[in-house]
Amino acid sequence: MSTSNRFSGRQITIMVVAACLALVLLPVGAFAASSAVTTIADAVHSSQRARVSSAGRLVTAPCDSNGCAAVDGSTLRVGDGHGALTVDGSALPYRPDTAFSTVYYLPDLSHIKLIRPGLKAGSKIMITSITVMPFGFDPSFTVNIALTKNASPGTNCANANSGGALLWNQIVKYPQPLGMTFPSPLVITDRCAVVLNSGGDQANVTITGYVVP
């Protein structure tokens, strides 16, 4: 190579420095190209933007016009809109060991039947269904079946007496039977209750449920 075609020392120095700078700046450029910021905003209100948590997760929550769901740690906070979650009706557990299904024959007003007699104090009767099968001779006959608290239960609810507070009542017309279920049980809290035919013809009444001692 002739002297006129040789690189000078200055040119060689510039090329070395340029190569070093290229090696140093290449990762920075690649990072900048791959870390472009994307903003997710509401189409109507541009100031309302999505957020990213400190762990790098997109913050999301189901919302309505009243607010959004909240998370405590990794647990979804659940409420009924007015504070802590509440339960309407009974939350007592089902007891298969105390389940019962009893048929009561009620021919007239003189027959009043105790529901689950002999229970200890504090027991609750949880009624899950009632079926009424009326008997008669023509469609004009009806029965009026009632569940009431025992007006004068005596010792250990041994006496069957009507006249207490009404718990459930239904008029059933012969020959159509009636079947009612209670997803949230009908609760008899004082263990003393009776079933009676308060008017009309005779009927069989089947009461199904369980007892919470």
DSSP string, 59-106: E---EETTEE-EEETTEEE-B-SSSB---SS--PPP-GGG-EEEEEEE
What six digits make up the tokens of 211? 């007892």
φ/ψ region of 56 (left if φ > 0, alpha if ψ in -120 to 50, else beta) reads: left
Tell me the C-alpha to C-alpha distance, in Å, between residue 103 and each of 53, 119, 127, 172.
63, 18, 13, 17
User: Is domain 96-212 given the CATH code 2.60.120.10 in the classification?
Assistant: no
* Predicted pLDDT of residue 48: 73
**pLDDT tens for each residue of 21-30:** 666 555 555 5
As a whole number of Å, the end-to-end CA separation of the chain is 109
- Give the single-character DSSP code of 8: P
Q: What is the pLDDT of residue 99?
A: 93
What was the pLDDT predicted at 26?
A: 55
Give me the pLDDT at residue 21, please: 65
Q: Where are the domains of the chain?
A: 96-212
Predicted local confidence at residue 124, as pLDDT: 87
Under 8 Å between Cβ of 192 and 152: no
At 207 the pLDDT is: 94
Instruction: Name residues whose C-beta falls within 8 Å of residue 26's C-beta, 6 or more positions apart in sequence.
Output: none
Q: What is the pLDDT of residue 208?
A: 94
pTM: 0.56
The segments of the chain whose pLDDT lies below 50 read: 1, 31-32, 34-35
Per-residue pLDDT tens over the stretch 153-202: 766 677 777 778 888 999 888 888 999 999 889 888 877 788 888 777 78
What is the chain's alpha carbon radius of gyration, rounded to the nearest angstrom? 40
